[in-house]
Structure 1
Amino acid sequence: MKLSKFDIGAEIIAILTKGMYQDPRDALREYIQNAVDADSKNINLKIRQNNITVIDDGTGMDYQTMRKALRIGISDKKPGDDIGFMGIGIYSSYHLCDSLTIYSKINADSPHKLFMDFKAMKDVLTEQKEKRINNQLSGDELIDLQTLLEKYIYLEELDKSDFPTKGTRIEMHQIEQNFSKELQDFDLVASYLRDTIPLHFDKSNFMWGEEIENKIQEICDTHNSKFDLVNLKLQVNSRQEDLYKPYKNSDFHNNTPQKPDFQEIKDEDGFIGVAWGCLNPTRNKIKDKSLRGFLIRKQGFAIGRRENVVKYFNSHTHFDRYVGEIVVTNKELLPNASRDDFEFTNIRIRFYNILTTIGSYYTQISNEFQNSSKAIEDIENIAAKVKEINMEFSRYENNTTKLLEYIVTLNEKLRITNSVVDRKVLEKDLKYKEEVKLIKNSIEMLLDDITDRIGSIKKTQEEEKKQNYIEKKIEHTKEIAKDLSFANIVQKEKEYNSLIELLQDLDIELGSDNETIYNLLDEKFIERASTTKVHYYNLITELKNDILNIMDNK
């Protein structure tokens, strides 16, 4: 069956662009993406009142390239090498502005200008729609796509002086009022671009940025895989900034992200990309909810959202303790038109199978850190408690009840210390591994001393024995103090004055209604069950440990 140009109505341009580019900022991404595909290293995006300009220093376009860019669903770009290859991106601002002007120059050739009158196109289609509603126009009388584009698109050659610099300049004129407010918000535009564009790290505010860039480049070079980043300057009216990836040291507790862990995404059939992840230095979620977990990127451009990746990690808790990216560079793994996933192919199946393994790896690393940090926390608390008892214990103490309380406490601390040793959770940490031995030895010596003191109370000893006993205890005291010198840095565990204070410290989100309920539970049960302020602190601390165990095993 033979088709003609009249079989493709002009309304298709509105349907395609509105469906694919629902967010007005998507058009900015598309034009920046084209600049990256043109090997641009520096891009300027300017938004002033109701006009937007994108300027790049890429290879530029000659007449034939600009003419081919007008084709819909047809592109000369290579799907594996370029991100934009669908053949629709040039029309992405159709709903955003009244007109689009593109200036471009390649090497020493003359520059060219492409003008697209979107307003005139939309006026024609609106008029047709109104006539159709009033039965004044039949389907056969509708304008076809080819005629519409030919009527309102102009391509001409310019003098070299009109656009002397190699590269491309895109101008969007008369931004639609419905989109203007959103595009005039610097922070909204910047946040979108930081998440979607292949930007450099802000190396002055993220301590691992340079190492991550260099490592990914090194791995990609080994596999002959392309990895590019760009410099992007954003100006919205009078505010102007260089944009970087959104990661900062301050996103992590103590402003100290752990050293990045890299994993190659590959199997026996080939290399697909690189994953990197920085773990929080404490057993807490990353502060900024929007940055928790891993983001998939194809050649630096975001694919989908972070929450789409959590299912491959088997644990939301461990996922939220990371900041990281899954950087895909394989030419055959192609993003779909909406950039929220990859096209359904065999390599897509391979990729997600590998991602499951990588997700399990990062979850395991986080779990091991959780266990070791919990053990370190226990050991530090034990060291502080043993040192406290050593300072309080008098070699002349006659109160057997107090001495027995010391023994009960020390036996419990010895049980926890032995558990840490048996589980080997500190095998990789030589510093704490050695300190555990010192703590265990100190507990056992102190138990011996207290037990001996209890025995001495029950019988009368000769003065000589008493003197020898005292000298022995003094020597032990000095040795213990020396072995536990590292414990000076231990801070007393935080005491909470209310249940609400505890829940807020654990990053548990509270609504105003829930806060009233928790205050009531605190007053009716925890406070009422407490006999003293110290008893109340102990109950709250026990509740904290129970909640942490639940969160750690989630």
Structure 2
Amino acid sequence: MNDDPRIGKDVIESLTLGMYEDCRFIYREYIQNSADQVDKAVVEGLIAPGEDEIYITIDSENRCIVIEDNATGIPQERVIPILRNIAHSTKKRGEDKGFRGIGRLGGLGYCSKLIFETSYSGEDICSTMTWDADLLKQIINDRNTSEEAVDVLSRVTKTSTKKEAVEKHYFKVIMENVSSDELLNIDSVKNYLSMVAPVDIASKFLFASQISSFIKDHGLKVDVYNIYINGEQIYKPYTNYIYGDDNQGGKKKVDDILGVDFLLSKDDDGNIIYWGWYSLSHLNGQMKQRNIARGIRLRKENIQIGDEEICKKFFTKTTDQRFSFYYFGEIHAVSKDLIPNSRRDYFGENEALQDFEKRVKKDFLGLREMCQDASEINSSIRTIAKKDELEEKIKRKEETGYSSKQEQETLQQQLEEYQKRSIEAHKRLDRKNQKIEESNSSLKKIIDQFAPNMGQPAGSVQPSSTPSSKPEKEGKTKFRTDNPIYSQYTKAEKKLIGKIYTSIAKAIPDEGQREALIKVIEEDLTR
């Protein structure tokens, strides 16, 4: 009996066809591999920094995908050992972006043939390895045979060579007969890679230079590469506005990005564990999904870890997790001990991760408190604005006339209530400003854009008016029916019209609709 260990064919499915949930991960994996080789090409002097090119071509009509870089390529003698073996990578864990040796085969689950073409500088040969993905799936699904994984790999692959210019160096991935429509959806792939891939922030983002200055001032390094999709270079899509949904199914601006602030955490030896930045706005609520960049994202080597939901876990209370979408931004894990897991949806468990989570959760307490402070500020501002609106409305009514006695009494009651609330709102703003000044909250940077008076020293903000039980009357109250257009009607008729307007006010709560109806009545009455 042979007691030697055996590895069955099903392990191939687990490591290649069944590893990830989102099929678009294959783009990330191939870009990740290209980025590692670009780094080596720069070190070896094959290309200068910034001369890298990673091209993705999506041919939806012919259902073909090509991903090509101008990095080192693979020497002919290393093609089979590198491209046919699984989980046998020579890359360095904690240093290279990819290091498990399984990502390059992810495309097998989504095409009929997966082809690798490569040429190494100084060699006049292009080496090609073709994986028969259909045959691989057929072998794995055949439950009547039991085959060794190594034998299966030999059956489904073949290699060939052809002449190539000696100065050429590249690596190309070709997926033929792509089965997934999602992989062929150019817009979907752009949206995905703009957040996941190691690319630069779009220059149109007003605070991109501020982020660059922070990186430079702290001696940080952020890997960025020139990545193109069907000829268009992609960038991180951070915007200067926050968008909501309009009534026509489109988008509308609902808030401005007012600034950015930063996070930085070091260990006892002064080594940076992570750094990050996040947006500052009025924090009026969660960003809608149409904001592609919403949420603070987790990154390692400038490649996204997980998805937009990843940082929710750092808010310790479940009820606070909604605050994750009040911001957009990034946390860059720097420590070499923070190693992405095989699915790249989080880090592997170790002491470094526990320390990382503890530190980030402390930072996120500050983000939560900012949201709560902003909510109180916004609420107080709305209260003061409502009081001002009522004062202005009453002023107009005193000029044009009230529709009824009830309208006058209702507006006066509302004003008196909001005058009282306004005094308390001013006091809350005063206290909040003092707290923000003392705690050096990030809101301090943008507080003048919330409420201009909040920047004044504590105690200096005074309400614009004080409540009174009832304003002094300078004369008889003017009603709408006192206007000249009603002069043709008798006193009794005016009184009846006033009662009609009172009934309309009771029946139609919406002032705009109510006013529109009364204007129609006035037009008919004056014909």
Q: Aligned-pair distance for 1:34? A: 0.3
Which structure 2 residues correspond to residues 416-495 of structure 1 after superposition, within 5 A? 416-424=425-433, 428=444, 429=447, 431-433=452-454, 434=456, 440=462, 443=465
Looking at structure 2, the residues matched to 274 and 168 of structure 1 have their Cα atoms a distance apart, in angstroms, of 33
**2:228 corresponds to:** 233
Shift of 1:198: 1.8
Counterpart Cα distance in 2 of 1:29 and 1:148: 26
Say whether 1:47 aligns with 2:38.
Answer: no
SS in 2 for 1:355: helix
Superimposed CA distance per residue, residues 483-508 of structure 1 (whole angstroms, 9 cap, x where no aligned partner): xxxxxxxxxxxxxxxxxxxxxxxxxx
Amino acid at match of 1:160: E
Residue by residue, what CA displacement relative to the aligned partner does 1:176-224 show, whole Å, maximum 9, x if unpaired? xxx24332222232233233212222323x3333433x146326635xx
Q: Does 1:208 align with 2:229?
A: no
Per the TM alignment, residue 158 of structure 1 is displaced from its structure 2 partner at its CA by: 4.5
Is 1:329 matched with 2:328? no
2:172 corresponds to 1:159: no
Query: For the aligned residues, what is the CA RMSD?
Result: 4.1
| Separation (CA, whole Å) in 1 of partners of 2:90 and 2:214 | 28
| Aligned-residue offset at 1:415 | 4.3
Say which SS state the counterpart of residue 59 (structure 1) adopts. coil
The answer on whether the counterparts of 1:73 and 1:86 sit within 8 Å (CA) in structure 2 is yes
Cα distance in 1 for partners of 2:283, 2:324 equals 14
State the 1:16 CA deviation: 2.0
**How does 1:385-400 map onto structure 2 within 5 Å?**
none
CA 1:411 to 1:392, structure 2 compared with 1: closer, same or farther past 3 Å?
farther
Change (3 A) 1:386 1:438: farther
Question: In structure 2, how many angstroms separate the alpha carbons of the residues matched to 1:440 and 1:392?
Answer: 27
Q: Distance in 2 between matches of 1:380 and 1:411?
A: 13
Q: Which residue of the other structure, out of 125, 147, 151, is the alignment partner of 1:147?
A: 151
Aligned to 2:496: none
Match of 2:286?
Answer: 285
Tell me by how many angstroms 1:77 deviates.
Answer: 0.6
Provide the C-alpha distance between the structure 1 equivalents of 2:461 and 2:334, rounded to a whole number of angstroms: 50
Letter matched to residue 58 of structure 1? A
Classify 1:168/1:272 alpha carbon distance in 2 versus 1 (closer, same or farther; 3 Å): same
Partner residue, 1:101:
115
Deviations 1:311-368 (A, max 9, x none): 3224134222111222223222111111111111111111111121121121122223
- Shift of residue 152, structure 1, vs aligned partner: 4.5
Instruction: Check 1:323–1:345 CA distance in 2 against 1; reply closer, same or farther (3 A cut).
Output: same
Q: Which residue of 1 aligns with 2:272?
A: 271
Q: Bigger CA drift: 338-347 or 287-296?
A: 287-296
- Residues 257 and 533 of structure 1, relative CA distance in 2, 3 Å threshold: farther
Corresponding position: 1:56 with 2:69: yes
Give the fraction of aligned pairs with identical amino acids, expressed as a percent: 22
Gaps of 5+ in 2: 40-51, 244-252, 400-407, 438-443, 476-502, 513-527
With normalisation by structure 2, the TM-score equals: 0.69
Relative distance call for 1:387 and 1:18 in structure 2 (3 A) is: same
C-alpha distance in 1, partners of 2:322/2:225? 33
Cα pair distance change 1:111/1:24, threshold 3 Å: farther
The offset of 1:256, in angstroms, is 1.9
- How far residue 86 of structure 1 moved from its aligned partner, in angstroms, is 0.7
Residue type matched to 1:217 in 2?
I
Tell me, in whole angstroms, the C-alpha distance in 2 between the residues paired with 1:52 and 1:422. Answer: 59
Is 1:242 matched with 2:233? yes
Q: Does 1:174 align with 2:164?
A: no
**How far off its partner does 1:130 sit?**
5.9
Distance (whole Å) between structure 1 residues aligned to residue 54 and residue 101 of structure 2: 22
Structure with more helix by fraction: 1
TM-score, structure 1 normalization: 0.66
1:86 to 100, 106, 109: 100
In 2, Cα distance between equivalents of 1:43 and 1:382 = 58
Q: Corresponding residue for 1:500? A: none
Q: Number of residues paired by the alignment?
A: 434
Q: Matches of 1:71 and 1:368 in 2, distance apart?
A: 55
d(CA) in 2 for partners of 1:411, 1:72? 72
1:497-539: CA deviations, max 9, x gaps? xxxxxxxxxxxxxxxxxxxxxxxxxxxxxxxx9964797669x
Q: 2:297 aligns with which of 295, 298, 301?
A: 295
Match of 2:481 in 1: none
Matching of residue 72 in structure 1 with residue 92 in structure 2: no
C-alpha separation in 2, matches of 1:295 and 1:349: 18
Write the distance in 1 (CA, Å) between the matches of 2:210 and 2:56.
Answer: 28
Q: Please give the secondary structure, in 1, of the residue aligned with 2:177.
A: strand
Contact 1:227 1:329 (8 Å CA) reproduced: no
- Find out whether 1:36 has 2:62 as its counterpart: no
* Alpha-carbon distance in structure 2 between the residues aligned to 1:120 and 1:373: 59
Contact 1:62 1:112 in 2 (8 A): no
Report the CA distance between 1:275 and its aligned residue: 2.0
Return the letter of the residue paired with 2:16. T
Q: Cα deviations across residues 394-447 of structure 1 (Å, max 9, x unaligned)?
A: 9xxxxxx99x97888655543443443345468655741459978737536x97
Change in CA separation of 1:111 and 1:536 when aligned onto 2, cut-off 3 Å: same
Q: 1:532 to 1:333 in 2, by over 3 A?
A: same
